[in-house]
Amino acid sequence: MQTFQHYIDGRFEDASATFDSINPATRQPWARMPRAREADVDRAVRAADRAFRAPQWSGLTASQRGRLLFRLADLIEAEAPHLAELETRDTGKIIRETRAQIAYVAEYYRYYGGLADKVEGRYIDIDKADTEAYLRREPIGVVAAVVPWNSQLFLSAVKIAPALAAGCTVVLKASEDGPAPLLAFARLVDKAGFPPGVISILTGFGDDCGRVLTSHPLVSRIAFTGGPETARHVVRNSAENLAYLTLELGGKSPVVVFPDADLDSTVNAIISGIFAASGQSCVAGSRLIAHRAILPALLARLKERAERIHIGTPDDMATEMGPLATERQVTHIQDLITRSVAAGARLVTGGAPPGHHGEGYYFRPTILLCENGDTPCLREEFFGPVLSVIAFDDEADAVAQANDTPYGLACGVFTRDLARAKRMTAALRAGIVWVNTYRMVSPMMPFGGYGLSGLGREGGMEAMLDYTRTKSVWIRTSDTPISDPFVMR
């Protein structure tokens, strides 16, 4: 059993309590994780508050902060294979995906390292005589970052990198499900040379860790990724400190396929969108809305390809789909499939564990064909490898079905008709629209949704500005004394 430590105020510490982390491929404990209590969280936040005001951090120029982020990016790139192995073991995400994704995470730190000294104020030609006015942008303060277990190095990078570039300090709570890679990432933070307290990384459970962190009076900004139910608790917690909020939540993302689409390319995109990462992605393309004329041919191709997906141990480079991360995910998916079939959905393929992978949390790629939009599988998020399919008749019907959800994170449109693609991107109610592609990300592009998919955006320049606030500065330029306000003239 490996043992991991918290990283608080520049020191690695054993916790007063621990818990075992389970390998999803074997259902066996493999590591002992530190469990943060209220006192641990309080120390981390107070250290972040001290660091925010200390000259070792606040006295750095923006360019110097950027150089620290570049150094951290180089360390991530060098250690990506090791971090990938930890993430694969702790979450079940396949090694071919964790290696590629973590190597790309370094680009987020480089992007924001380059933006650190690009934040600008603004001069205002004010309507008052003998007065100059301008706006300064200043870092907002201590940031509480909370991330789930899936793609955690990426989801932490889109919070940590812009926050540090802006001059904030960060306390990061890794998920209690699979925290190993982020606790190991703390070694790179330490090696990069950030002053003590600028970044602290811990893990623990909701009430004695997450609640304490997000309601702490010294926290000025909360950046959360997770599900809507937990987000509601975070919003209530933020009433204690009135912190600014970014919420990146779930999705029930539609993929709309028109008759003129390139079916070979479309099938590959759909398979990637729903079965990559075993469907455990907030942007998973879990609703396929296909034109009735091509639905039979498209469904046949998808069924054949889904049944060829190689399910295997996540550390094998030949594996195309590994286990789910937790047992509760398997239980939730099976229950939702059962309810959907009872409501009229037809099981095209999958629908159960594969039965030949021992005790791991494996589940077969699954496709459900639905007759109406009220079927549970079209309404509720699986967070697993399940594609729900329904037909549409015309463009207006496609838009109506795609928008018939309380979520609005992402969507895909497949058509060769550029005018139609432009109409669809305007009509679809989602924060991300991919046309003739799916599941692409870049540090240069904002990421976020509508409705129950969250508040705010991560990525791009605007994300870094969200870690700042403006200060209005008024300067009187006249040497003439200000007149007595109580003398009438």
With contact defined as beta carbons under 8 Å apart, do 34 and 14 qualify?
A: yes
Q: Which residues 6+ apart lie within 8 Å of 458 measured at CB?
A: 158, 159, 162, 223, 246, 248, 446, 447, 448
Q: Which residues are registered as beta bridge partners of 78?
A: none
φ/ψ region of 167 (left if φ > 0, alpha if ψ in -120 to 50, else beta) reads left
pLDDT digits (tens, 9 = 90+) for 42-91: 999 999 999 999 999 999 999 999 999 999 999 999 999 999 999 999 99
- Residue type present at position 181: P
With contact defined as beta carbons under 8 Å apart, do 62 and 28 qualify?
A: no
The predicted model gives 121-141 an average pLDDT of: 97
The predicted model gives 102-121 an average pLDDT of: 96
- Residue type present at position 366: T
Q: How far apart are CA 96 and CA 81, in angstroms?
A: 10
With contact defined as beta carbons under 8 Å apart, do 183 and 3 qualify?
A: no
The pTM score is 0.95
Closest residue by Cα to residue 436 from 424, 447, 452, 444 = 424
Q: Which residues 6+ apart lie within 8 Å of 398 measured at CB?
A: 256, 258, 289, 291, 392, 424
pLDDT digits (tens, 9 = 90+) for 163-221: 999 999 999 999 999 999 999 999 999 999 999 999 999 999 989 999 999 999 999 99
The answer, yes or no, to whether residue 248 has pLDDT greater than 90, is yes
- Structure-token match 């286990």, residue found: 323
Q: How confident is the model at residue 130 (pLDDT cuts 50, 70, 90)?
A: very high
pLDDT digits (tens, 9 = 90+) for 347-389: 999 999 997 666 899 999 999 999 999 999 999 999 999 999 9
Closest residue by Cα to residue 287 from 375, 227, 346, 226 = 375
The percent of residues in the chain predicted with pLDDT above 70, rounded, is 99
The predicted model gives 122-146 an average pLDDT of: 97
Write down the pLDDT at residue 358.
66
pLDDT digits (tens, 9 = 90+) for 444-475: 999 999 999 999 999 999 999 999 999 999 99
Sequence spans of domains, the chain: 2-248+459-473, 254-435
The verdict on whether 79 is a catalytic residue reads no
Closest residue by Cα to residue 216 from 234, 231, 202, 201 = 234
Cα 94 → chain centroid: 18
CB atoms within 10 A of CB 264: 9
Type and span of the H or E element at 392: strand 386-392
Task: Please identify which of the residues 85, 87, 248, 381 carries the catalytic annotation.
Answer: 248
Q: How far apart are CA 320 and CA 297, in angstroms?
A: 24
The CATH classification number of 254-435 equals 3.40.309.10
The predicted model gives 107-111 an average pLDDT of: 98
pLDDT digits (tens, 9 = 90+) for 268-326: 999 999 999 999 999 999 999 999 999 999 999 999 999 999 999 999 999 999 999 99
Q: How far apart are CA 294 and CA 292, in angstroms?
A: 6
Residue 290 phi/psi, 5° resolution? Answer: -115, 145
CATH topology assigned to domain 2-248+459-473: Aldehyde Dehydrogenase; Chain A, domain 1 (3.40.605)
Q: Determine what percent of the chain falls in helix, strand and coil, rounding each to the nearest 5.
A: 40, 25, 35
